[in-house]
């Protein structure tokens, strides 16, 4: 059986996302840890064959830790490795391994994908999908009334130095030269009102993505990113 400490160490050993939503005004918004878990499970997304964040109801070898302050989930399955917590205060904390660093563990991965070394690439389409899912999940939480006073959003990508962007769509023409970053990590920190999240979730995700792709010397257009977002949100993958 997995342990939280082992999964946490595994996540941080390679590239990973760190996602944190914090209410602007601190108070207990949820009465029980059962409410914390229910909040995540009813607002999680399932847009591309994998949940965000993972619910994995009925799945074996998944930890579902509870404390007096939060409910959580810890999972390590193939290239899906993550840990999340939802606190009674409404704070959501999530560590998510970069899936492209664990492609050799994916039994359905292609030979092309498994040829990459860990920490070698950052997928373009996968990153667009992930950032979009983060903001869509946030929008679902806002609709559920969690962040009525506003929310601080912190999204980070870690262990990036020396990576190249990988255009993970075989139907597209690749980059004319390697798009590599020397940044060890990237950070996106924003303060949003309820209405901003509801009206502009995909817009904020695009702004995050343009900022981060620029660190690889790639100026991605709104049209390109929004096209991939539309495919995800309409499940036209």
Distance CA 75, CA 60 (A): 10
What percent of the chain lies above the pLDDT cut of 70?
A: 97
What are the tens digits of pLDDT across the range 2-22?
899 999 999 999 999 999 999
Q: With 80 as the cut, is the pLDDT of residue 108 above it?
A: no
Structure tokens at 21: 């939503």
Q: In the structure, what pLDDT confidence band is assigned to residue 204 with cuts at 50, 70 and 90?
A: very high
Residue 169, pLDDT score? 83
Range of the domain at 208: 4-233
Round the average pLDDT of the chain to a whole number and report it: 94
**What are the helix (H) ranges across the chain?**
4-12, 33-43, 111-114, 124-143, 194-214, 222-233
Q: Identify the weakest region by mean pLDDT among 53-57, 188-192, 195-199.
A: 53-57
DSSP secondary structure string for all residues of 1-12: ---HHHHHHHHH
- 3-class SS at 204? helix
Distance CA 202, CA 230 (A): 9
> What is the number of structural domains in the chain?
1
The model carries a pTM of: 0.96
CB atoms < 10 A from the CB of 22, how many? Answer: 18
Residue 153, pLDDT score? 98
Query: What is the per-residue burial (b if ≥16 Cβ within 10 Å, else e) of 141-177?
Result: bbeeebbeebbebebebbbbeebebbbbeeeeeeeee
Question: How many angstroms separate the Cα of 86 from the Cα of each of 11, 135, 237?
Answer: 19, 16, 30
Strands (E), 14-79: 16-23, 45-46, 51-52, 70-77
Q: Could you tell me which residue, 235 or 60, shows the higher pLDDT?
A: 235
Residue 107, pLDDT score? 66
Q: With 90 as the cut, is the pLDDT of residue 27 above it?
A: no
């Amino acid at each position: 059986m997995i342990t939280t400490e082992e999964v946490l160490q595994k996540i941080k050993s390679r590239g990973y996302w760190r996602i944190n939503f914090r209410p602007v005004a601190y108070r207990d918004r949820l009465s029980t840890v059962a409410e914390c878990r229910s909040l995540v499970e009813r607002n999680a997304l399932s847009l591309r064959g994998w949940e965000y964040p993972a619910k994995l109801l009925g799945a074996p070898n998944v930890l579902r830790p509870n404390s007096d302050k939060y409910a959580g989930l810890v999972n390590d399955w193939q290239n899906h490795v993550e840990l999340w917590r939802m606190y009674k205060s409404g704070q959501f904390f999530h560590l998510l391994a970069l899936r492209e660093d664990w492609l050799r563990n994916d039994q359905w991965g292609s030979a092309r994908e498994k040829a990459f070394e860990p920490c070698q690439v950052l997928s373009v389409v996968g990153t667009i999908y992930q950032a979009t899912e983060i903001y869509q999940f946030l929008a679902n939480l806002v609709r559920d009334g969690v962040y009525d006073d506003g929310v601080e959003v912190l999204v980070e990508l870690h262990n990036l130095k020396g990576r190249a962007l990988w255009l993970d769509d075989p139907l597209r023409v690749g980059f004319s030269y390697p798009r590599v970053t020397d940044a060890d990590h990237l950070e996106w920190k924003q303060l949003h009102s309820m209405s901003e999240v509801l009206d502009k979730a995909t817009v904020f995700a695009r702004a995050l993505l343009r900022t981060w792709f620029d660190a690889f010397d790639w100026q991605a257009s709104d049209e390109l990113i929004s096209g991939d977002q539309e495919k995800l949100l309409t499940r036209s993958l």
